[in-house]
Structure 1
């Protein structure tokens, strides 16, 4: 790994903040690195408030969206809430549909089938609306590129409201309202909302018309926090407020669907990381292995006993997902090893039988293994479909755009995207993608990087220090868990490889004048030679707590060690 020490923040700013907050220098430095330079900044950061949320009417077309929904309710129209099958989409559908049902009976949901409709707005979905007398579709987490489909719906007398957060193309769909903070003509102050977040801004605007406050909408924020974590959007500004309060709802008063999942897992206090690795995969599993409708059903369920039954189904889909993902990953790794005849800047694999529901997860695993922009293809009808994942610092969406002459369709973000192409274009696209990446990527990006916030002495790792660090949460992009470096460490002699297959490293680090502290390095068993026999080493790590037989103690979670 490349260890990159972040530039030291301006000392005068650190000293000023240290004095005004009465905290240690490392804490003040961490805050200044995150753009928190004054007492007021720190107050807003440490004490997020719903009053910090922006006025929803600052978003372009919000007034039009509200007016059209109010008209639909007044005219007793059927409203179809349409959303993608991933976590962001299904949470958004559950959020919008459950809120609208408090105002109007004729609200229904539609999630496209991953396998015969694919991502986003589909003609099948529009035809379903046509056949069932829907005159308004509210599309969430999708639709910003559905130019022809929205035009087709309009010809059939169906209006669209789009709530999306993906990058628009050169043309905006001809919908009644297009809510997307990434529109170039939208002056909304915060651009990084997820799809469910944009949906929340719409219900916030509707609620305001009804004389409700944001506090009245708190019960919906468990859905928004889950989407923020799962969709890997920055946890800054407005997203930080929404995630902070959403986590409080999940931990104190979760909706029946979440409670059913958590009761099965015997989980108590959840962090955003727990949400990402426990709740999100289960919600995703429905759309991957069966149908996204099952996830919406669980999230919108208001009867706990019924939620328990739905959660059991979801758990079964998640088990199937794990097994399938494991098998496809093994086959993909084998395929790559067999192809290793030349140095490549990309990883592209294909097999027609691979399950479309897991190719995104497999792409992530391959990226972790080979650290290259990665595409995993499978057969989808008469076309090939792929999930793309990228390495930190490289925009895979731009790379796909440079190869779009070979593609039927593509969309997504800087680090994750989806695409389809005709089978006969596969080889040409594969070469074009390799050529584009080879020409444009900074070769340093092909080695994993660990960003280090600061160098500290082991003696500074105290319970008080950790208590303050915890208050920097929720962590995520743009507010990552702090990572520290400490030099001149030695193991006290208890270092060993642990785990069933001895792939993890456990040791007790010591430094002059500091109490020894337990360290755990997952998948770092091969580093044992660096620390044995009292060899001095340096480590990069984050700090967390270890609970064992009722005792809670601090431990270092190692990211890497070097001699």
Structure 2
């Protein structure tokens, strides 16, 4: 696929602001320009971006419904009645449930015997608040049901719970419909009525703000909640929310908590899985190592195991649960690989299926627990929004994934008359439908996506370049300063640079089991500077050009390589241009 490089310049006014920030904060001008490109409009904002303070984040009572939610919770706590906390079976859900449970137990002194947690399992169909959960709450004599990362569309279930005498507080962050459940209180920053400035909190973020508000009402120090920032960091990273503002503060301070004083359950998980033993735990550690393990139990229909781990109060108990979680993770990996292979075979066997505007794949015997991760893999591999479906009982359920600019939630909303249930976000959603309606769903989703005039996924892809660097600009010191803008993710992408007129410095070669990658050792055309090292994954087609001493350009991320004892500099090359005018 041909890639077009687009260099995004800044205006004269933005250049002046970047210079002001550079002088005030003693930053490399390249880094100060990156801050301006990320929406920073003043020196104080730049300072907050680099070093966000937890005590400078928005007041939780700005969130619509917070007064009512705290009031209902306080009333239940005063009566010493049992409380049921339920959530989705994914990482965001289990961390949310655990955070509220642990805060009520350890900060507010609520008897753990009065705190019940429920994660939907094998006997629960679809998404949302489970009727089994409601009935368990009644059997446990609960007065209050707190639903986190779910509930915003559970109109019938909330009506059912309240008809039986249960108060219901919903703490959700998913898109809401015009008609809301008649709950005792609803906390959701995406509600039209809500003036809370951060509309992109994870569900665990909403749970944390709820506990903050309770701490204010109970005259507790807010710093006592900092012990739960590790859970909040895991949720924020895994749920792929924008990493700016308050979310950035949560993640930075939560990563510090993960590396210094994680909760008993996370500590056991890190040790048994050998995560962080010889490395600093960062965003990648969460996404590729911690989150998959916490997700594994839920994907195997036993998400309660992850909550039990995160609420464990002894190391012995935590280690016992971790062993079970590792077994689930192995089972999950095997299922994931098998179903991904079957999905790819299905695509290959149907002519032009990979050219359609959306991939919708269905097998009745696929395991429902890995639908989301398989959809993500297929969507990335084929550059298409993807929905993976299976059958549970009389219904077909599934998960979908998409990437910018396609709005998967809006696509499903356009077909809501066909669906039993659906929910989610712009780039990730779940649905339930009757099998006989699948052909019409496929037709209408394809039609919707085509009608939005999204750029064809096979068309020339664009790489948006933050800055063009001279070879003398590329230093370890610059990489270290850029590291101050981390963690990188949605709305704060890893800076992308371009450098032109390079040549092989000797030592560039194809690497990898099949010689598919290109290891670069390069300098300027006149060999005036110390050679730079880089790796270009799956770009070995440029090997002969590079090794023939002809000029080329690279588009890359700048990284500090900590693999060796002494930190070094490595360029992660995204694209190579050879025939340059």
Aligned pair in 2 of structure 1 residues 266, 165: CA closer, same or farther (>3 Å)?
Answer: closer
User: Residues 355-392 of structure 1, C-alpha deviation per residue, up to 9 Å, x if partnerless?
Assistant: 11111111111111111111111112211112111122
Aligned pair in 2 of structure 1 residues 361, 484: CA closer, same or farther (>3 Å)?
Answer: same
TM-score normalised by length of structure 1: 0.96
**Partner in structure 1 of residue 32 of structure 2:** 28
Mean Cα displacement is larger for which, 88-97 or 460-469? 460-469
Which of 357, 369, 385 aligns to 1:345? It is: 357
Residues 229-240 of structure 1 mapped to structure 2, 5 A cutoff: 229-240=237-248
Aligned 8 A contact 2:20 2:43 in 1: no
Which of 2, 6, 16 aligns to 1:4? It is: 6
Aligned pair in 2 of structure 1 residues 405, 531: CA closer, same or farther (>3 Å)?
Answer: farther
**Partner in structure 2 of residue 517 of structure 1:** 532
**Partner in structure 2 of residue 17 of structure 1:** 21
Which residues of structure 1 form unaligned runs of 5+? none
Aligned 8 A contact 1:50 1:214 in 2: no
Aligned pair in 2 of structure 1 residues 68, 346: CA closer, same or farther (>3 Å)?
Answer: same
Alignment of 1:57 onto 2:66: no
Mean Cα displacement is larger for which, 273-282 or 447-456? 447-456
Aligned pair in 2 of structure 1 residues 258, 389: CA closer, same or farther (>3 Å)?
Answer: same
**Partner in structure 2 of residue 70 of structure 1:** 74
**Partner in structure 2 of residue 213 of structure 1:** 221
The root-mean-square deviation of aligned C-alpha atoms, in Å, is 1.8
Shift of 1:527: 4.3
Distance in structure 2 (CA, Å) of the matches to 1:330 and 1:389: 17
Aligned 8 A contact 1:115 1:356 in 2: no
Distance in structure 1 (CA, Å) of the matches to 2:60 and 2:71: 14
Distance in structure 2 (CA, Å) of the matches to 1:36 and 1:202: 29
User: Residues 200-220 of structure 1, C-alpha deviation per residue, up to 9 Å, x if partnerless?
Assistant: 001111112222222211110
Aligned 8 A contact 1:114 1:287 in 2: no
Distance in structure 2 (CA, Å) of the matches to 1:158 and 1:272: 39
Classify the secondary structure of the residue corresponding to 2:266.
Answer: helix
**Partner in structure 2 of residue 506 of structure 1:** 519
Distance in structure 2 (CA, Å) of the matches to 1:273 and 1:323: 22
Distance in structure 2 (CA, Å) of the matches to 1:279 and 1:162: 27
**Partner in structure 1 of residue 307 of structure 2:** 296
**Partner in structure 1 of residue 295 of structure 2:** 284
Aligned 8 A contact 2:275 2:285 in 1: no
**Partner in structure 1 of residue 371 of structure 2:** 359
Shift of 1:135: 1.7
Alignment of 1:483 onto 2:483: no
Which of 487, 501, 506 aligns to 1:493? It is: 506
Alignment of 1:169 onto 2:177: yes
Aligned 8 A contact 1:115 1:380 in 2: no
Classify the secondary structure of the residue corresponding to 1:101.
Answer: helix
Distance in structure 1 (CA, Å) of the matches to 2:32 and 2:199: 27
Distance in structure 2 (CA, Å) of the matches to 1:159 and 1:397: 30
Shift of 1:226: 0.5
**Partner in structure 2 of residue 430 of structure 1:** 442
Distance in structure 2 (CA, Å) of the matches to 1:375 and 1:166: 18
User: Residues 490-544 of structure 1, C-alpha deviation per residue, up to 9 Å, x if partnerless?
Assistant: 2223222323343332111222543211111233344434533223222211111
**Partner in structure 2 of residue 553 of structure 1:** 568
Alignment of 1:377 onto 2:379: no
Which residues of structure 2 form unaligned runs of 5+? none
Which of 251, 254, 259 aligns to 1:246? It is: 254
Distance in structure 2 (CA, Å) of the matches to 1:529 and 1:257: 51
